[in-house]
């Protein structure tokens, strides 16, 4: 039978290779005979070990599961090393629609358009493509329109364990504004990069 250290090493490997947060039940399926209480305890041991040695990697609980992430203090250096930018930037209009769905779900497309005052077909396609929202069923009303809700991907994007952790709507709007500013700054950087490269090559 494997020792606690061996089991802990297996859990660490699973977290390392997984691109998505791992649920305790998923880990239990791999570790036959080990219950979720013990798995959580071993994960907490790993988290403590990383924290004690000020590791560049942390284990965080997101969307009901656990995921291995780089520490916040390493972020500027990682960005510099890879020279890439986040591919999942959301515009202010998209975040506004997402906020309506998050706080009023389940909600129909007509409800969203009534609140926003504009057509949201394109925005909704974008959110569905990014798996941030999902069709949650149909409304019991004439025409039986689809109703929409958020997904686990939504929780992961905003670093939430559950919908209970949603901030007040005012705070969500601040997040939306901040992401919009980041998008504008990123666009400016991209526009300036060709000019900078040309000057360096002279």
CATH value at residue 175: 1.10.10.10
Residues 168 and 128 in one domain: yes
Residues 189 and 105 in one domain: yes
Domain boundary, last residue among 74, 105, 134: 74
Quick check: is 80 in a domain?
Answer: no
pLDDT tens digits, one per residue of 140-151: 888 889 999 999
- Decide if pLDDT at 163 tops 80: yes
Query: Are the CB atoms for 108 and 147 separated by under 8 Å?
Result: yes
Quick check: is 81 in a domain?
Answer: no
- Decide if pLDDT at 134 tops 90: yes
Number of structural domains in the chain: 2
Residues 42 and 113 in one domain: no
Residues 98 and 187 in one domain: yes
Neighbours of 65 (CB within 10 A): 21
Query: What range defines the domain where residue 65 resides?
Result: 4-74
- pLDDT computed for residue 187 by the predictor: 61
Residues 55 and 138 in one domain: no
pLDDT band at 81; cut points 50, 70, 90: low
Question: What CA–CA distance (Å, rounded) separates 71 from 39?
Answer: 23
Quick check: is 127 in a domain?
Answer: yes
Residues 65 and 108 in one domain: no
Residues 67 and 102 in one domain: no
pLDDT tens digits, one per residue of 34-68: 999 999 999 999 999 999 998 988 999 988 899 98
Query: Are the CB atoms for 158 and 88 separated by under 8 Å?
Result: no
Residues 188 and 118 in one domain: yes
Quick check: is 189 in a domain?
Answer: yes
CA neighbor of 102 nearest in space, from 53, 51, 162, 55: 162
Quick check: is 199 in a domain?
Answer: no
pLDDT band at 85; cut points 50, 70, 90: very low
Q: Residues with Cβ < 8 Å from 156, sequence gap 6 or more?
A: 20, 21, 62, 63
Residues 62 and 17 in one domain: yes
Neighbours of 1 (CB within 10 A): 5
Quick check: is 82 in a domain?
Answer: no
Question: What CA–CA distance (Å, rounded) separates 124 from 106?
Answer: 14
- 116 vs 101, 134, 171, 181, CA distance in Å? 11, 19, 18, 21
Q: Ranked by mean pLDDT, which of 70-74, 111-115, 139-143 comes out on top?
A: 111-115
Quick check: is 198 in a domain?
Answer: no
């Amino acid at each position: 039978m494997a020792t606690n250290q061996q089991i802990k090493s297996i859990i660490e490997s699973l977290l390392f290779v997984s691109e998505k947060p791992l649920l305790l039940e998923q880990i239990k399926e791999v570790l036959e005979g080990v219950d979720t209480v013990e798995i959580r305890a071993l994960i907490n041991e790993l988290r403590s070990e990383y924290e004690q040695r000020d590791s560049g990697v942390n284990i965080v609980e997101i969307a009901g599961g656990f995921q291995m992430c780089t520490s916040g203090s390493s972020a500027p250096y990682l960005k510099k090393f890879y020279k890439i930018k986040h591919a999942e930037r959301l515009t202010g209009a998209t975040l506004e629609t997402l906020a309506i769905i998050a706080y009023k779900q389940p909600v129909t497309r007509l409800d969203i358009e009534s609140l926003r005052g504009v057509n949201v077909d394109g925005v909704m396609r974008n959110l569905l493509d990014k798996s941030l929202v999902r069709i949650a069923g149909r409304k019991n009303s004439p025409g039986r329109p689809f109703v929409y809700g958020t997904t686990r991907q939504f929780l992961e994007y905003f670093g939430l364990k559950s919908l209970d952790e949603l901030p007040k709507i005012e705070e969500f709007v601040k997040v939306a504004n901040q992401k919009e500013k980041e998008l504008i700054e990123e666009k400016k950087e991209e526009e300036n990069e060709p000019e900078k490269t040309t000057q360096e090559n002279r």
